[in-house]
Structure 1
């Protein structure tokens, strides 16, 4: 049995990211940006003048030491005991733009050699320069659940679960991540929705002009909304120290 037909790649998705908090305070944010969907073994090659607008660097993912994205995900999957994800891997992410990158969520849809879906890897980054991966096995409705193991929002404790809906993008992109506390409450829901478009030089230039320095804008927007939440009365939750490679930077 095979999964959905993989979409043509590379592709650019014009997206709207939305976060909705319902407790202990109500707060919502919406941000428009664009994301790449790429085959990690066949990354786009852009004309030299446009390369500063999109660079895919393996240092920005996993432990930051692998020589390629494929080597990075293969090492992670092997450490998790996954041996059959030796086929196509499609990655949804921001690329580096003008030397900067920030990916709150990178997704990898992993297939076996026959094209069958094996798993999804959700790589999460926070604004402390840390990253963490979740290995997911979505059901027939593209839904998966996992325990929360990593601090993202400084205003939420390290408990509860994530419920995610992660269909492979096609003409439309429609992702949902919901945080649920042990008591059953659902304080935070995030969605990423958008439409597929071409990924040629003209399309990339148009996207970059609509959203200048897009990854820096995402990072600054998260911090700005963090200030709003603090002013609404939320306080930073204690967290243990964690030593992982930095994600944000200009190298």
Structure 2
């Protein structure tokens, strides 16, 4: 496995975020959640004072197959199975950290660069509430946009069909992400993440943790709460297909 040749100059960073989910079909539903996310170099995760480490752990078992010694090694194994070699180029990873022993990452993003700093690809790693994981390889355009067929079960109310249309520009002072689910020439679901950059330092982590206590548990609880709301409104639950692990998740 390669080693990052040049560390991204703007990490670690925190983004205090507003995450919005809007469903338009077959019933309309929307919710907004406030949280915070980390932008890190997976080769060099943040070094925090001992009292704050339970609030920000970055563990290789939480990503891809969970069996590689580091997140970077897992990413490179997955990319190699798809013919992509970063040749040691830098990676920026947007994710939730493990907080007080708990983590749930609906979406982790990796902006993968060649050694000269050019963007080679974006990897979108998706986790569902059943404990399953899947990743998409994206070739984004100059605006950070890409499309990919949906082939992983996420919501119990949508079948595994259609496509995702994503806009994933690399974070800078602001975080601006958009994911549309496209089915039958409509967009029945849209998720957005909007955030503002803060230094990834102990004082800002402490402030974020106080504003959003046990943030990862709150994310997973919020998703389940709104799922129950949709169920009570009569939306049928679809049968979950068997998930087969992707090559590179070993």
Q: Counterpart in 1 of 2:166?
A: 164
Question: Aligned-pair RMSD on alpha carbons?
Answer: 1.3
Are 2:113 and 1:111 aligned? yes
Q: Counterpart in 2 of 1:3?
A: none
> Where does structure 1 differ by over 6 angstroms across 4 or more consecutive aligned residues?
none
The correspondence for 1:78, drawn from 77, 80, 95, is: 80
Q: Counterpart in 2 of 1:98?
A: 100
- Asked whether the 8 Å contact 1:20–1:28 carries over to 2, the reply is yes
User: Secondary structure of the equivalent of 1:154?
Assistant: coil
Q: CA deviation at 1:144?
A: 0.3
Are 2:148 and 1:146 aligned? yes
TM-score by length of 1: 0.93
Give me the whole-angstrom Cα distance separating, in 2, the residues matched to 1:93 and 1:208: 15
Q: Counterpart in 2 of 1:207?
A: 208
Q: CA deviation at 1:241?
A: 2.1
User: Secondary structure of the equivalent of 2:187?
Assistant: coil
Q: Counterpart in 2 of 1:230?
A: 231
Q: Counterpart in 2 of 1:125?
A: 127
Provide structure 2 residue ranges, at least 5 long, that are not aligned to the other structure.
1-7
- Asked whether the 8 Å contact 1:130–1:243 carries over to 2, the reply is no
Q: Counterpart in 2 of 1:44?
A: 46
User: Secondary structure of the equivalent of 1:186?
Assistant: strand
- Asked whether the 8 Å contact 2:152–2:243 carries over to 1, the reply is no
Q: Counterpart in 2 of 1:135?
A: 137
- Asked whether the 8 Å contact 1:7–1:169 carries over to 2, the reply is no
The number of aligned residues is 239
Give me the whole-angstrom Cα distance separating, in 2, the residues matched to 1:184 and 1:69: 36
- Asked whether the 8 Å contact 2:153–2:241 carries over to 1, the reply is no
- Asked whether the 8 Å contact 1:85–1:118 carries over to 2, the reply is no
- What is the CA deviation profile of residues 230-251 of structure 1, one whole-angstrom value per residue up to 9, with x for unaligned ones? 1112111112222659xxxxxx
TM-score by length of 2: 0.93
Give me the whole-angstrom Cα distance separating, in 1, the residues matched to 2:245 and 2:224: 20
- Asked whether the 8 Å contact 1:173–1:193 carries over to 2, the reply is yes
- Asked whether the 8 Å contact 1:176–1:190 carries over to 2, the reply is yes
The correspondence for 1:54, drawn from 53, 56, 74, is: 56
User: Secondary structure of the equivalent of 2:47?
Assistant: coil
- Asked whether the 8 Å contact 1:17–1:190 carries over to 2, the reply is yes
